[in-house]
Every structure is written in structure tokens, then in C-alpha cells.
């Protein structure tokens, strides 16, 4: 995985797609500039999760955009996805690495400076710094880190970092200025009236901020 693939990271949520097909929303968003996709399904059956992962992997074929599966290593292995993202209540990242092998992507959510320090001892490809701001998308999250918390985590992490939680076109550039390599969004794209345009706008903001940092 190249760090620039973290620039605009879309995390799916079928409850926020305004009744549209997840596949269609994701594909529009990828056309607009999404650089990585995480399929996150907490309610559906394993069979349905797998079928969606296989279909999404197929649709992403040739785009260069990696597909990462939330939590379920078995779904990732069965679908041929590019990796797995785990949170602090999911399988430990050393076990995920062992099951996936050295070549696939392993991402880990960190919710504090302490988590980020522990993550420095783990063989992960990136960390998701969560939540930067409080958000209605996830209700089981840790306290919001804010720009200060994000800056502290990004400063001490040896891994590329992506901010997640309450990120939108209005604050995307500031997330990059805090030291993150990219932004992860859910509703800013999944719930956008035009996911293509929303992704294009976010991608441009992030790209400009990344370039300005060089």
C-alpha cells in the first residue's frame, strides 16, 4: 500500500446511502477520486457480506483502489479483498497479520495516544485515528480527539495515519495540516446527493493540502 492511497478513504455504511446501492455509490465516488474503500457491514449475514465484497472487488478491478474489509478476516480471505481494517474490539492486529500474510493491508483504529503508541509495535500498514470529531455515524466511539489529539497521534505514529469521524469538505484540509496522510469519510460521501462530486471536492481539498505541506 502506498501512503497516497490513504488520501481519500471511503468507509461504507448501507444505512447512510439514502437507499441507493452501495456498489453504485462507491463506484461513483471512486470515479470522483476516492483512493481506498472499506466495506463495513455490521448487520447483514456472512453470505450477503461475502457476495457484496466479491461484487465490489470486481467493480474496483482495474481502478488501483484497494478494497479493505472491516473486522471480518474470513470475508477478506474468501473474497480476495486487499486487506482488513480492525478496531480495538476486533481481532488483535498480530493475529490478523498472521491470517492474512505479509502482503495484504492491515489497518487499525486508534482512539488515543496510548493506542497509537501500542500500534507502533504492530505490523500494520496504517492507523485510522478515530474519532477526530463526534459523529452520528458511530455511537460506540471514544471521546473526540479534535485537531490537537490528531496532531499528537500523527506526530508520534510510525505508521501512515488517516483521520476519521466528522470529516467533511469544510475541515478536510485542516486534517492534513494536522499531519494526517488522508481523510476517511462515511456520510460526507455515502449520504451526498452526488457522490461523484462530493468525492471530487474532497479529493481536491486533500490533494492541495498535501502538496502545500511538501
Please, which of residues 145-174 interact with a second copy by CB under 8 A?
none
Report the C-alpha gap between 181 and 30 in whole angstroms: 18
Q: Which is nearer to a second copy, 44 or 212 (CB)?
A: 44
| Cβ-defined contacts of 51-59 (< 8 Å, 24+) | 52/22, 52/23, 53/78, 53/79, 53/81, 54/79, 54/80, 55/23, 56/22, 56/23, 56/26, 57/81, 59/23, 59/26, 59/27
From the list 44-52, 114-122, 130-138, 185-193, the region that binds a second copy by CB under 8 A is 44-52
Q: Which CB, 78 or 197, lies closer to a second copy?
A: 78
Among 2, 20, 24, 46, interactor with a second copy by CB under 8 A: 46
> 79 an active-site residue?
no
**CB closer to a second copy out of 6 and 110:** 110
User: Among this protein's residues, is 138 annotated catalytic?
Assistant: yes
| Residue in 50, 129, 164, 206 binding a second copy, rule: CB under 8 A | 50
Instruction: Tell me the per-residue interface mask from 61 to 100 with a second copy, x by CB under 8 A, - otherwise.
Output: ----------xxxxx-xx-------x-xxxxx--x---x-
| Least distance in angstroms from the C-beta of 119 to a second copy | 15
Count the residues of the shown chain that bind a second copy, applying the rule CB under 8 A.
Answer: 20
Q: What cell numbers appear for 2 in the block?
A: 502506498
Nearest approach in angstroms of CB 99 to a second copy is: 6
Number of Cβ within 10 Å of residue 59's Cβ equals 17
Backbone angles phi, psi at 107, to 5 degrees: -115, 150
* 55 lies in the binding site for a second copy (CB under 8 A): no
Residues 85 and 76: beta-carbon distance below 8 Å? no
- Please state the φ and ψ torsions of residue 84, each to the nearest 5 degrees: -135, 140
State yes or no: is 40 an active-site residue.
yes
Partner residues linked to 185 by β-bridges: 10
Cα(214)–Cα(201) distance, integer angstroms:
21
> Among residues 57, 97, 104, 138, which one is catalytic?
138
Whether residue 53 contacts residue 67, with contact meaning beta carbons closer than 8 Å, is answered with: yes
Binding residues for a second copy (CB under 8 A): 45-48, 50, 71-75, 77-78, 86, 88-92, 95, 99
Return the active site residues: 40, 109, 138
Amino acid at each position: 500500500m502506498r501512503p497516497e492511497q490513504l488520501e481519500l478513504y471511503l468507509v461504507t455504511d448501507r444505512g447512510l446511502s439514502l437507499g441507493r446501492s452501495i456498489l453504485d455509490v462507491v463506484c461513483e465516488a471512486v470515479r470522483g477520486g476516492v483512493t481506498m474503500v472499506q466495506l463495513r457491514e455490521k448487520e447483514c449475514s456472512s453470505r450477503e457480506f461475502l457476495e457484496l465484497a466479491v461484487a465490489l472487488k470486481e467493480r474496483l478491478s482495474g481502478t488501483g483502489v484497494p478494497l479493505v474489509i472491516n473486522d471480518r478476516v474470513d470475508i477478506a480471505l474468501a473474497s480476495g479483498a486487499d486487506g482488513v481494517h480492525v478496531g480495538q474490539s476486533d481481532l488483535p492486529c498480530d493475529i490478523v497479520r498472521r491470517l492474512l500474510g505479509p502482503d495484504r493491508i492491515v489497518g487499525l483504529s486508534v482512539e488515543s495516544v496510548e493506542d497509537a503508541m501500542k500500534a507502533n509495535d504492530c505490523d500494520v500498514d496504517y492507523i485510522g485515528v478515530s474519532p477526530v470529531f463526534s459523529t452520528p455515524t458511530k455511537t460506540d466511539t471514544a471521546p473526540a480527539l479534535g485537531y490537537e489529539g490528531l496532531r499528537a497521534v500523527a506526530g508520534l505514529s510510525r505508521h501512515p495515519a488517516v483521520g476519521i469521524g466528522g470529516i467533511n469538505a469544510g475541515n478536510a484540509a485542516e486534517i492534513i495540516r494536522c499531519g494526517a496522510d488522508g481523510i476517511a469519510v462515511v456520510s460526507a460521501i455515502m449520504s451526498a446527493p452526488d457522490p461523484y462530486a462530493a468525492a471530487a471536492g474532497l479529493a481536491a481539498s486533500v490533494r492541495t493540502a498535501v502538496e502545500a505541506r511538501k
